[in-house]
Structures are given as C-alpha cells and as structure tokens.
Structure 1
Amino acid sequence: MIKKLLFSFVLIAVFLAFIPQLAKPTSTLKTVFRLTEQPAVIVKGTQGSALTINISFGEKEVEELLEHLSQPYPLLFIDSDWASRFPHLTEQINKRSLPIALLGTEGQHYESDPKLLSKQLQTFEELFNTRPLWFRTTDEEFPLALLQQLSKAEINALGSTVQWSGGTLPKASKGEIITVPYDHHEQVATADIQRLIASRTFQSVEDLLFRSTVKTKKIPQ
C-alpha cells in the first residue's frame, strides 16, 4: 500500500513539474539558425522570390514606405545609426513586428575595425530588443574575417541575386533575392516598389531558403 502511494506521489510530482513546459508556446522556427556548415554568403534559393530593402537614409520617404507595406512583408535591412536618429520609425517597425535584419557599412570597414560589427550589433539589439538573424554589408562584400565573426555569432550573411534601383522590372528567376536601396545616393519611389511587388508573388527569406537548396558565394581569401 505504501509503495503504491509513493509511486502515485512521484507520478503526480513529475506531471506537475512538466505542466509549465507544456504551456509554453512552441516555435517552428528556431531563434538562431545557421544555413551553411562553413562561413559563406547566401545569395539565392532555388524557388520563389524574396524582397529585401536596405534602409540607411531618409525620414519622410521611409515613413511613406512603411505605411504602404503589407504582408508578406519584405525583409528590412536596417542601419543601426539611422535607426538611432529616428526613434519614432524604430517604434513603428517594432509595433508592427516587421521582419528586420542588420545593415552594416562597406565590407572593407570590418577589416580596419574588427570591433565594428559588435558595436553595430549592440546598438541594433538595444533599439529592437532582438538579435538579427541576417546581416548584409552595403556593398555586399564580406571579408573572411567578417564572415568568421558572423558565424561565431550565429548570424547569416545574406547577399542578393538582383539589386534593383527602379526602372525596368527585373526578369523573374527562381530563388531570387531582390534588394532595393534606401540610402543617401538612391531612394526608390514607393510607387516603384509597389510596381515591383505586384510583378510577382513574394515570400519570406526563410520560406525561400528553408524549402530549397541554398546557393552561396565563395568566401573571399
């Protein structure tokens, strides 16, 4: 009788211990992931289309852009210095839970300043209260030392298949990653971005890559 009571007590204790775990929400997407075994730059999948926008300049222009975005949202690569200057836009991005990633500077800057990436990451995390899963340099040049830093931090280097600044729409290709600039030199009009969005069915970068064989660019030596 005593053994049965002890056994029942143990079962109840184990059940109560697992209740909080059962109540936790599950996620089909890990918070941090690594798509390649070795440091490399992801530039294309094999199916679908994904849209990314590099934002490092502008206030009213970006505000107009954000107002017109609808699901499926493009992946916004955000310059942390730009985000620091416009907290109201940062708040809007956070409030709408728009997909974001970290936009760096030119690749060569990370060779001359090995601490640059960590500084940008810290600012990004303070502003958005999250660690980016994706990183891109403005010129899409990724020195080996930078790729190694990203790999250690479990952040993916994402390039693009097409860089589009307006005008004639690019011909659709399977697995394409299209980049649109919003920087000091180029800002694509919201109407042009809407024209691009209407030209094909876009999906998230994660869907583009997780459902396909990832294509990468060789690591610079």
Structure 2
Amino acid sequence: MRKKYVMIAIICSGLFLFLTPFPDQASLTSVFRVTEEPAVITRGINGSALTVNLSFGDLEVEQWIRELNTPYPFLFVDTGWANRFPETIKLINEKNIPVGLLGHAGNAYDQNTALFTGQLEQFQALFGTKPLWFRTADEVFPHSLQLMLWEAEVNALGSSFSWHGANPPPVKPGEIISVPHNREQRTDLTALHKLYDTRTFQPLEDVLFNPTIKTKKTPK
C-alpha cells in the first residue's frame, strides 16, 4: 500500500512539471534598480571600476576598442557620436563590451522628458537593449532627471573621480573612475596604462555589489 502511494505521488509530480509552462528567455531578463529611491551612485563597495565616456573620436577610438582585453572598462556612449560610427558600435557589440547611455549636460534635461526618451530609443536601436546605467556629460543630475531615470528603471551613475591623464591618485576601495573623451576633454586613451599600472580593475557590477563565490570542498 505504501509503495502505491509513493508511485502516485511520483506520477502527480511528473504531471505537474510537464504541464507547468516554462518562462521564456525574455521573462528571465532582470531589470533592476540599485537604489531604493532616486539617487546617484558615485562609488561601490570594494575594488576599482574603470568607466570611459565616449562622445568624440574616430579611428583612434576604434583601434583602442579593437585592442581591448577583458576585463573591459565600462563604456558610456553618446548616441549622437555612435550613429556616426556604426562600425565602432558593431565592434563593441561583437566583443560584448558593457555599455551605458552617456547624456548631455545635466541642465539639458531639466523638465525635458523628450530629450531623455529620444536618447533611450536611439540606444536601444544601436545596442538592442535598454541601458541599465546613465551618466550625464558633466555628472550633474537634476532632481527631475533622477525621477525620469527612476521611472524608466535606469540607474544614475556618477564617479568617485575623473581622470584626465595625470598621475593617478592612491587607490580607494569601491572607486569608480571616469575618463572623458570628448571634443573639449580628449583624454589620450593609450595613456590608460598609467591607471592599469596602479590598480586592478574589476567589472562595474563586481565593484558595486562585491559578489563572493563559496566553494564546497569534496572530502577525499
């Protein structure tokens, strides 16, 4: 009798698993907010993250991206610049380099929802996905812009400091370094070795969330 009940339970479990629809891949893609309310993130928990703001450059930027190795820096991309250099964007996509949306100066978004919405749509057309991270060109985030980002489920990311090619400062745990490469501040990307010589960079999410992996030893 007991074996009969066990067999019935097994059959019922099998039918439940068979009839339960599996979620499609899209539903498993997470969209997250890092903060519990509108806010700007400027540092993480541990380690160092390198972010580069791209809104200017042609062949030298393409060559730099072509020579990049993992772990990649996080690229904030201006959509106006990106639309002029589709081959560079194709290369970024092929190498699966992490990207976010680089906007205009912060005051350009004051009550200007259309500007932000238009840039989101352009980013999605270029990279096939909505950005999880947004940065203004001057790292100024008016309150109205923070609310727009919150509504769109996009996180605002500033930086711990901006590097322009001088001798790097001492390492601080959780630092997020931004490197501008625009018409006014054209930081030499080939000089980034100065930063790489002084710290070990990690992916942005690792610096923000400090994930740890526990391994279980198998007894001999």
> TM-score with structure 2 length normalisation?
0.85
Identify the residue that residue 38 of structure 2 maps to in structure 1: 39
Give 5+ residue unaligned stretches, structure 1: 213-221
Identify the residue that residue 84 of structure 1 maps to in structure 2: 83
Counting only pairs closer than 5 Å after superposition, residues 61-140 of structure 1 correspond to structure 2 as 61-111=60-110, 113-140=112-139
Give the number of the structure with larger relative contact order, counting CA–CA contacts within 8 Å between residues 6 or more apart. 1
State the 1:190 CA deviation: 3.0
Identify the residue that residue 184 of structure 1 maps to in structure 2: 183
| CA pair 104-24 structure 1, distance change in 2 beyond 3 A | closer
Identify the residue that residue 153 of structure 2 maps to in structure 1: 154
| CA pair 170-68 structure 1, distance change in 2 beyond 3 A | farther
State the 1:14 CA deviation: 2.5
Q: Say whether the 8 Å CA contact 1:64–1:190 is kept in structure 2.
A: no
In 1: Cα distance, 2:110 partner to 2:188 partner: 34
Counting only pairs closer than 5 Å after superposition, residues 45-56 of structure 1 correspond to structure 2 as 45-56=44-55
Q: Say whether the 8 Å CA contact 2:76–2:102 is kept in structure 1.
A: yes
- Decide which moves more: 111-120 or 185-194: 185-194
1:18-51 Cα offsets, whole Å, 9 max, x none, are 5855x97998xx6321111110100012321100
Q: Which runs of at least 4 in structure 1 moved beyond 4 Å after TM superposition?
A: 4-12, 18-21, 23-27
Identify the residue that residue 170 of structure 1 maps to in structure 2: 169
In 1: Cα distance, 2:68 partner to 2:189 partner: 9
In 2: Cα distance, 1:15 partner to 1:167 partner: 60
- Decide which moves more: 52-61 or 4-13: 4-13
State the 1:169 CA deviation: 1.6
Identify the residue that residue 16 of structure 1 maps to in structure 2: 18
| CA pair 112-7 structure 1, distance change in 2 beyond 3 A | closer
Q: Residue 15 of structure 1 aligns to which amino acid in structure 2?
A: L
In 1: Cα distance, 2:132 partner to 2:66 partner: 24
State the 1:205 CA deviation: 1.3
Q: Secondary structure at the match of 2:178?
A: strand
State the 1:17 CA deviation: 3.3
In 1: Cα distance, 2:146 partner to 2:26 partner: 33
Q: Residue 70 of structure 1 aligns to which amino acid in structure 2?
A: N
In 1: Cα distance, 2:189 partner to 2:170 partner: 20
State the 1:113 CA deviation: 2.4
Identify the residue that residue 198 of structure 2 maps to in structure 1: 199
In 1: Cα distance, 2:154 partner to 2:12 partner: 43
- Decide which moves more: 146-155 or 110-119: 110-119
In 1: Cα distance, 2:100 partner to 2:88 partner: 15
In 1: Cα distance, 2:137 partner to 2:64 partner: 20
Paired residues, what number? 206
> TM-score with structure 1 length normalisation?
0.84
